Amino acid sequence: MKKVTARQHAIYNYIKEFILLNKFPPTVREIGEKFGIKSTNGVRDALISLEKKGLIKKFSRQARSIELLQSAPSIATAAHVPLIGRIAAGTPILAEENVEDTLAVDKALLPRSSQIFALRVQGDSMTGDGILNGDLAIIRMQKNAERGQIIAAIIDGDATLKHYYPSENRIELRASNGAYSPIIIDEGDSFSIAGILAGVIRKC
């Protein structure tokens, strides 16, 4: 059997769980909504791949027409990355109350460090670096950074991605979209570095 990707594995597991719960399979549209796939053709392509790998059978003329043929093999290449929401004050980054969800990501796309988490990008302040609203930023945990690096900064419990420019008495966090002014961090302000940007995943 050809290798099953992390994305295909996740879709297969969703179909399996949906059938167990509802006693019938999901529609193409329901799968698309679950995984943020806007195009029905994108979902159909994923189903075609699963069918070619012998995991499902799809009857094209029926709305709920997916039949499971066998269990998907486990994916040794998939890593489970915690998706962090608002950071609870005083708690470690990976504390349970901070984790919104867990993402299955191909290990080949990740840095080797085991201390990794993801943030969902909100807004357009980093579009100059090709980081768009809704993207998932993969962050390698560390407490320091070099000048100019893109960091995940924690300010009053909120995480933000910005370029890091420290000076003797203050820190500037700069956006790459010129419409945004720098964020100025003075001594005594609630600020910490959660990690540096290791990569970006865009959900199509």
Quick one: pLDDT at residue 95? 73
44-56: pLDDT as tens digits: 888 988 888 888 8
Instruction: Compute the CA torsion angle 147, 148, 151, 156 (nearest 10 deg).
Output: 70
Q: Residue 28 — φ and ψ, nearest 5°?
A: -60, -40
Give the neighbor-by-neighbor strand order of the sheet with 150-155: 99-106, 78-84, 116-120, 136-141, 191-201, 150-155, 158-166, 170-174, 183-186
Quick one: pLDDT at residue 3? 67
* Residue 68 near residue 29, CB atoms below 8 Å: no
Give the whole-angstrom CA distance, residue 103 versus residue 184.
33
Over 80: is that where the pLDDT of 72 sits? Answer: no
* Fold exhibited by the domain 6-68: Arc Repressor Mutant, subunit A (1.10.10)
Give the whole-angstrom CA distance, residue 162 versus residue 175.
5
CATH superfamily of 81-201: Umud Fragment, subunit A (2.10.109.10)
Angle at which helices 40-52 and 6-22 cross, to 10°: 90
Q: Where are the domains of the chain?
A: 6-68, 81-201
Give the whole-angstrom CA distance, residue 86 versus residue 97.
9
Give the whole-angstrom CA distance, residue 41 versus residue 45.
6
Q: Which residues are catalytic?
A: 125, 162
pLDDT band for 73, please (50, 70, 90 cuts).
low
95-107: pLDDT as tens digits: 777 788 887 776 7
Instruction: Supply 146's token pair.
Output: 């070099």
Closest CA to 72 of 57, 58, 56: 56
Q: Residue 33 — φ and ψ, nearest 5°?
A: -65, -40
Report which of residues 73 and 130 the model is more confident about.
Answer: 130
Report which of residues 4 and 114 the model is more confident about.
Answer: 4
